[in-house]
């Protein structure tokens, strides 16, 4: 199944719907004749967990992700064995102005679902034992909140700050804000650079274990001032929609992939609104992993072609790129299908 606005990709996203342990596997949609459902203001939360090889840990995390269904729905899981990393996408109506205030007795469902996933991941995964070909800051490397249909970025930012405070205070993980959730709009890339994110710490362009020191070069926005070796730290932010698009490069030479990534990225003088990393991705293959910060302006087709051109200049060929998630339109559609299916059973 391919995202509706992502025609070029071979999408290997794994759609999750409840079946075992509350996690869904069917995508069938049954609409009653004449039935309609108003579309609420929606937000999504993408959580990137530093684990893709331990099936027991993943089952525990996915049980937590499905625990608030139907109020919050797990619409996608994307594991990557080479990176030893999995991305989860949760969707829920954005209730109570985003932060659970205004007299609400409990935080919104998306807040509780995201917190539950983080808590389960911290319980199931030991950051000190992790190894993979993708950089990471902790057990929960990155959490991104995005407004979807009818939602405002300001409200999503308020929700993000509330979730970050709970992760820092209740789970004792140093937490760094970025984007609209940060007072000065700090970017994800900038805080990652300050924390040494992009530098491998193990031979073979691998990231392995936790840093030797628990001290942090930048004070966190929430949580303790030092990092636990078993948990690490987390970056959490709110932004407009971002597409993640990766292009395989047919070479084992990661230095070549890094040169291509640098040249294709805005930071290296390349395409506007594009961030890119060159990474190893399995035996004899590397990858240019891209964040498309404004996919309506610069999309996957432009990135694919530019990576192809840059690779050809080095005598290399590339594979067809792929997204790691559905389009935002498809994510909204999947949520509405799930909500309508739940309503039809009541």
Residue 30: pLDDT over 90: no
Domain identity same for 216 and 251: no
> Residue 59: which domain range?
19-28+40-241+326-344
Domain identity same for 59 and 137: yes
Domain identity same for 133 and 153: yes
The Cα–Cα gap between 74 and 140 comes to 17
State the pLDDT confidence band at 106, using cuts at 50, 70 and 90: confident
pLDDT at site 28: 30
Catalytic annotation, pick one of 134, 142, 146, 281: 134
- Catalytic annotation present for 29: no
The answer to whether the CB of 211 falls within 8 A of the CB of 195 is no
Query: In Å, how far from its chain's centre is CA 166?
Result: 19
Residue 274 is part of a domain; what is its CATH number?
A: 3.30.70.670
pLDDT at site 95: 73
pLDDT digits (tens, 9 = 90+) for 73-101: 999 999 999 999 999 999 999 874 334 44
pLDDT digits (tens, 9 = 90+) for 243-256: 999 999 999 999 99
Of 255 and 341, the structure prediction assigns the larger pLDDT to: 255
Q: How many domains in the chain?
A: 2
The Cα–Cα gap between 118 and 111 comes to 11
pLDDT digits (tens, 9 = 90+) for 31-77: 333 445 567 899 999 999 999 999 999 999 999 999 999 999 999 99
The Cα–Cα gap between 159 and 111 comes to 7
Domain identity same for 161 and 212: yes
Residue 25: pLDDT over 70: no
Domain identity same for 196 and 60: yes
**Helix 254-264 to helix 300-313 angle, to the nearest 10 degrees?**
130
Domain identity same for 170 and 298: no
Half-sphere exposure of 264 (CA within 13 A, CB side): 35
Residue 197: pLDDT over 50: yes
Instruction: Return the bridge partners of 279, or none.
Output: 287
């Amino acid at each position: 199944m391919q995202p509706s606005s992502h025609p070029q990709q071979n999408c290997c996203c794994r759609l999750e719907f409840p079946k075992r342990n509350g996690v869904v596997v069917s995508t069938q949609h049954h609409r009653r004749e004449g039935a309609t459902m108003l579309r609420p203001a929606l937000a999504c939360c993408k959580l990137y967990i530093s684990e893709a090889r331990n099936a027991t840990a993943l089952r525990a995390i996915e049980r937590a992700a499905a625990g608030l269904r139907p109020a919050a729905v797990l619409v996608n899981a994307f594991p990557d064995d080479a990176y030893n990393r999995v991305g989860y996408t949760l969707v829920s109506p954005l209730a109570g102005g985003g932060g659970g205030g205004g007299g609400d007795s409990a935080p919104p469902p998306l807040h509780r679902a995201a917190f539950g996933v983080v808590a389960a991941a911290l319980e199931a995964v030991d950051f000190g034992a992790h190894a993979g070909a993708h950089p990471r800051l902790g057990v929960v490397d990155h959490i991104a909140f995005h407004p979807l249909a009818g939602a405002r970025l300001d409200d999503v930012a308020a929700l993000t700050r509330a979730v970050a405070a709970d992760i820092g205070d209740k789970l004792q993980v140093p937490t760094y804000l970025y984007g609209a959730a940060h007072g000065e709009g700090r970017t994800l890339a900038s805080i990652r650079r300050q924390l040494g994110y992009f530098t491998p710490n193990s031979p073979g362009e691998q990231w392995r274990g936790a840093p030797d020191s628990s001290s942090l070069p930048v004070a966190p926005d929430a949580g303790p001032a030092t990092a636990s070796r078993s948990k690490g730290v987390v970056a959490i932010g709110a932004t407009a929609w971002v597409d993640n698009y990766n292009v395989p490069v047919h070479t084992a030479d990661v230095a070549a992939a890094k040169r291509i990534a640098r040249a294709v990225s805005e930071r290296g003088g390349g395409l506007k609104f594009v961030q890119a990393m060159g990474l190893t991705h399995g035996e004899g293959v590397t990858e240019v992993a891209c964040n498309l910060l404004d996919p309506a302006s610069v999309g996957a087709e432009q990135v694919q072609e530019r990576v192809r051109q840059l690779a050809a200049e080095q005598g290399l060929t590339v594979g067809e790129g792929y997204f790691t998630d559905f389009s935002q339109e498809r994510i909204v559609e999947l949520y509405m299908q799930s909500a309508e299916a739940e309503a039809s059973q009541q």
